[in-house]
Amino acid sequence: GAVVSQHPSWVICKSGTSVKIECRSLDFQATTMFWYRQFPKQSLMLMATSNEGSKATYEQGVEKDKFLINHASLTLSTLTVTSAHPEDSSFYICSARDWVLSTDTQYFGPGTRLTVL
Amino acid sequence: QQQVKQSPQSLIVQKGGISIINCAYENTAFDYFPWYQQFPGKGPALLIAIRPDVSEKKEGRFTISFNKSAKQFSLHIMDSQPGDSATYFCAASRSNTGKLIFGQGTTLQVKP
């Protein structure tokens, strides 16, 4: 149980285009999902907190107009990178909390590798 | 302070040995301390976690030691195996927000 999926697993796009990444909790309901970004050989940096039915809250330094987050259901959150540029190339990882089983445990998705040409 | 400091950056251990990774935090409001294992190109996987009301927690070959007064916690991997070779991250969060603050990571190599 407690599986989180992401789609796509990797994507290559041209500079200036937008890319949508989906994060799904497959066997549990996640009222809160988190989006992280990880550059090569670096740690995970929290980008934003996504709450079902409400606006996402962004960490300091993260452009909310560039990284659009939508959490329309208890099992799906999406991250859209708008007008992507090469510096947005990174590994994007989501996580979800299962409020029924635990208030603390976060389950991570497999990540999405974004390459912007 | 939100920072979580992790050491060492890299670690080489012989098969069967003990791997020890340390973390220190500043924010005393943190009340949840997990350790994650990450393989290249994959998302992190939860190994073990502890809350500050417990000084030690063991699950299989993995043990967390927690020192609340020193604001430090560590991961011990007993009988390390080549399959344990991965990057390990400590993290800390406050339960009411769930926001995980990660350490810098430790790359572990277990030699056969």
Q: Using one digit for the tens of pLDDT, what is the confidence trace for B42-65?
A: 999 999 999 999 999 999 999 999
Q: Name residue A95's beta-bridge partners.
A: A34, A108
Percent of chain A having pLDDT more than 70? 95
Whether the CB of A97 is below 8 Å from some CB of chain B: the reply is yes
Amino acid B85: pLDDT: 98
pLDDT in tens, B5-40: 999 999 999 999 999 999 999 999 999 999 999 999
Amino acid A28: pLDDT: 86
Contact A56, A50 (CB under 8 A): yes
pLDDT bucket at A31, cuts 50 / 70 / 90: confident
Q: Mutate which of A7, A43, A45, A102 to disrupt the B interface (most B C-beta within 10 Å)? A: A43
DSSP string, B54-109: -SEEEETTEEEEEETTTTEEEEEESS--GGG-EEEEEEEB-TTT---EE---EEEE
Residue B94 has pLDDT above 70, yes or no: yes
Distances (CA, A) of A8 to A93, A96, B20, B25, B79: 11, 17, 35, 35, 37
Residue B1 has pLDDT above 60, yes or no: no
**Coil, strand, or helix at residue A4?**
strand
Whether the CB of A71 is below 8 Å from some CB of chain B: the reply is no
Chain A residue numbers with beta carbons less than 8 Å from the beta carbon of B44 are 44, 93, 108
pLDDT in tens, A88-99: 999 999 999 876
pLDDT in tens, A51-89: 888 889 999 999 999 999 998 888 999 999 999 999 999
Amino acid B2: pLDDT: 61
A36/A110 Cα distance (integer angstroms):
12
Inspect the interface and report whether the beta carbons of B41 and A111 lie closer than 8 Å.
yes
**Coil, strand, or helix at residue A86?**
helix
B63/A50 Cα distance (integer angstroms):
32
Q: How close B39 comes to chain A (CA, Å)? A: 10
pLDDT bucket at A101, cuts 50 / 70 / 90: low
Amino acid A102: pLDDT: 62
